[in-house]
A and B are shown apart, each in its own frame.
Chain A
Amino acid sequence: MIAFDFAYFRPETLKEANETYKQLIIAGKLPLYYGGGTEIISMARAGSIRFDAVIDIKSIPECNTLCVENNQLIIGSAVTLTKIAESGCFPLLGKTVSRIADHTIQDKITIGGNIAGSIIYREAALPLMITNSKVKIIKKNKLHELPLLEIFDGNLHLQNGELIVQFLIDTNYLNLSYCHVKKTKLDKIDYPLITLAAIKTDNGINAAVSGLADKPFLLPVKILNEQDVPEAVRADKTVGAIQNNIIGDLIIAGKEYRMFVLKNVLVQMFENFKEAQYAGI
Chain B
Amino acid sequence: MLAFKDKSIISLNINGDNVTVMVNPSYTLLHVLRENLGLTGTKPGCENGDCGSCTVLVDGWPIKSCLMLAVEAIGHQVITVEGLKNAPIQRSFVENWGFQCGYCTSGFLMVCHALKNIHPDADDFIIEQWLQSNLCRCTGYGEIKDAVKAVLENKI
Contacts and interface: CB of A to CB of B under 8 A. Distances in A.
A1 B28 contact: yes
Contact of A42 (B6, B24, B48): B48
Contact of A108 (B6, B28, B68, B74): B68
Given A102-B133, A188-B132, A8 B49 contact: no
**Number of chain B interface residues as a range:** 35 or more
Contacts of A36: 67
A209 to B, nearest CB: 23
Given A1-B28, A5-B24, A98-B129, A104 B111 contact: yes
Nearest to A104: B133
Nearest to B128: A188
Closest 4 CB pairs of A and B: A104-B133, A8-B25, A10-B2, A102-B133
29 contacts: A1-B47, A5-B6, A6-B26, A7-B4, A7-B5, A7-B6, A8-B4, A8-B69, A8-B71, A10-B1, A10-B3, A10-B71, A10-B74, A20-B1, A42-B48, A42-B49, A44-B26, A45-B47, A45-B48, A46-B48, A82-B61, A101-B49, A102-B52, A102-B133, A104-B130, A104-B134, A105-B67, A105-B133, A108-B63
Contact of A12 (B1, B48, B64): B1
B31 interface: yes
Contacts of A98: 129
Contact of A9 (B1, B58, B62, B66): B1
A103 B68 contact: no
Interface string B1-35: 11111100000000000000000111110010000
Given A45-B47, A108-B63, A37 B72 contact: yes
Nearest to B6: A5
B55 interface: yes
A2 B26 CA distance: 6
Interface residues of A, number: 36
B121 to A, nearest CB: 14
Contacts of B69: 8, 37, 41, 54
A11 interface: yes
Interface in A44-68: 44-46, 54, 56, 58-59
A146 interface: no
A36 B134 CA distance: 19
A232 interface: no
Interface string B40-76: 0000000111001001001001111011110110100
Contact of B28 (A2, A58, A188): A2
B49 to A, nearest CB: 6
A37 B62 CA distance: 16
A56 B68 CA distance: 12
Given A5-B24, A42-B49, A56-B72, A105 B64 contact: yes
B48 A9 contact: no
Given A11-B1, A20-B1, A98-B129, A104 B24 contact: no
Interface in A100-142: 101-105, 107-108
Interface string B69-103: 10110100000000000000000000000000000
Contacts of A44: 26
A155 B48 CA distance: 24
A16 interface: yes
A105 B58 CA distance: 12
Contacts of B2: 8-10, 59
A5 B71 CA distance: 13
Nearest to A99: B129
Interface in A1-39: 1-2, 4-12, 16, 20, 36-38
A38 B63 CA distance: 11
B63 A107 contact: yes
A190 to B, nearest CB: 11
